[in-house]
Amino acid sequence: MNDTPLIFIDIETTGTRATRDRITEIAALKMVGGHVVERWVSLIQPTTGVPAHISRLTGIDDAMLRDAPTFACIAEELNGWLGRDTLVAHNARFDAGFLRNEFKRAGIAYRPRVICTLRLARRLAPQLPRHNLTALLAHYDVPRTNAHRAEEDAQALWGLWQTWQQRVDTPTWQAALADEQRHRSLPAHLPSEQLAGLPEAPGVYLFYGHNRLPLYVGKSVNLRLRVLGHFQRDHQDDKEMRLAQQIQHVEWEETAGDLSAQLREAQLVKQLMPIMNRQLRRQGKLHTWYWPDDAAQPTLANGKLLGQPQPGKLFGLFRSAKEAKEALRHLAEAHQLCPQILGLEKGKGRCFAHQLGRCRGACCGEETREAHTLRAQQALAGLQISAWPWPGRIILREQSRPTGPAAYHLIDHWCYLGSASSRQAALALKTPAGQFDMDTYRILNRFIRDADQHGLSIEPLG
């Protein structure tokens, strides 16, 4: 690469979110034949304030940027200067992601080829405990005058590159560059060999950060496509960018199909509590509206009722009593139901809502209780929890591929009791009393409702 132009680049920003934070400084050194032939250095007005902790880190504050050009003002000129030359940066996905978003705001499509020196460092010096730029410069005795300023960091990065070329033999150097380019879409801290065996099969995957901190659990019908897909959109999605910056280890489990993957994902999220999973985390005490047969109003019940057969109907899954009451109150207002009859308000005789014309008068005899109950249950119908269709437990057999593994899921009143690879093993499972879980219910309800479509067979056990 001695005669091929390389641009050693570093940027400073107002934060870490490439889609929302902005660039405050750019320094780029264009190298040809081992010499700096051009350089581009400029502060950038981010059109937003610089957070105090960023100013303390970089020394760049709002006063310094007051008269600096915005990125939009220099975008066309900078794009022409960069051309299609390869960018060299430490943790290049970060720099490239910010540049792509800044150019996009200026109406310019910029998709640079990059070389990440962080990935190179992990290959060339795997024995080092840390591979950030400061640690590498100290290890190789490369001088740097002012950390976290773009020009000094770009210059130091060039010094690190020269040191590698002097100390690393040619075959090792060429192999490291080739490996870095072959896996340039992967996060810098993730060894490429970890993904070598990713199957194109259903399953769950787990992303871990430093010290095996659980970052994210996901599922897919095609593990390989899904996992690699995370690393294609980090410049567009803040969550994907955070994952790409932190991920250091990947694990996966192949499953019999999509149902197994979804059940296992929900189980692992509640067990590991990954910091970037929100939807499937362990729920607190659930609440539901229980409407007993022949009753005039529903009763607010806790989640223990959900996993048991009941002589009545259940409506809604709520994380708190307040949320449940607000939902019922909203329906009462929308359908002119009586909040007093529904138990939302205390009192006798004509309710206040009727005085306002928002109740049809079940509280004062203008509407029969039977008619009110029918209308109320119709209003709640969209929230109704499906009744368990069998008298007891069932085995749900799943096998999405003719040559793939099979799974036998043991289910009782929407409670997932466990899975095994054979019917006999499923029947032998030692299971505790089933505990209703909102996410599991939704998964099972969806798959059982369309069992034939999902290739599932159901065996009631009585």
DSSP letters, 358-400, are: -S-STTTTSS-HHHHHHHHHHHHGGGBPPPPSSSS-EEEEE-S
Provide the residue count of the chain.
Answer: 462
Where residue 388 falls among pLDDT bands split at 50, 70, 90? confident
Cα angle 259, 262, 267; round to 5 = 125
Q: How far is CA 93 from CA 90, 113, 387, 456, 459, in A?
A: 9, 11, 50, 43, 51
Tokens standing for 99? 């540049």
Give, as one character, the DSSP assignment of residue 40: E
User: For 305-316, what is the mean pLDDT?
Assistant: 78
**Is 206 a residue whose pLDDT tops 90?**
yes
Where residue 79 falls among pLDDT bands split at 50, 70, 90? very high
Q: What is the pLDDT of residue 386?
A: 83
Percent residues over pLDDT 90 in the chain: 64
User: For 203-221, what is the mean pLDDT?
Assistant: 94
Measured between alpha carbons, how far is 419 from 255 in angstroms, rounded to an integer? 11
Q: What is the pLDDT of residue 231?
A: 83
Residues 51 and 15 sit within 8 Å (Cβ to Cβ):
yes
**Is 23 a residue whose pLDDT tops 90?**
yes
Helix or strand or coil: residue 312?
A: strand
| 408-416, long-range: CB < 8 A, 24+ apart | 409/259, 409/260, 409/263, 411/444, 412/307, 413/307, 413/308, 413/309, 413/388, 414/306, 414/307, 414/388, 414/440, 414/441, 414/444, 414/445, 415/307, 415/440, 416/263, 416/267, 416/440, 416/444
pLDDT, one tens digit per residue, over 100-111 is 999 999 999 999
Q: Dihedrals φ, ψ of 412, to 5°? A: -145, 115
Residues 259 and 443 sit within 8 Å (Cβ to Cβ):
yes
User: For 339-368, what is the mean pLDDT?
Assistant: 92
Where residue 325 falls among pLDDT bands split at 50, 70, 90? very high
Q: Is the pTM of this model over 0.75?
A: no
Q: Which residue has the higher pLDDT, 245 or 152?
A: 152
- Among 181-185, 274-278, 363-367, 434-438, top mean pLDDT goes to 363-367
Tokens standing for 2? 């001695």
Where residue 312 falls among pLDDT bands split at 50, 70, 90? confident
pLDDT, one tens digit per residue, over 412-425 is 988 899 999 999 99
Q: Which residue has the higher pLDDT, 355 or 204?
A: 204
Q: What is the pLDDT of residue 185?
A: 76
Look over the chain and give the mean of its residue pLDDT values, rounded to a whole number.
90
Q: Dihedrals φ, ψ of 379, to 5°? A: -65, -35
Measured between alpha carbons, how far is 244 from 432 in angstroms, rounded to an integer? 39
User: For 176-191, what is the mean pLDDT?
Assistant: 83
Percent residues over pLDDT 70 in the chain: 95
Where residue 194 falls among pLDDT bands split at 50, 70, 90? confident
Tokens standing for 406? 């099979």
Where residue 364 falls among pLDDT bands split at 50, 70, 90? very high
Q: What is the pLDDT of residue 186?
A: 81
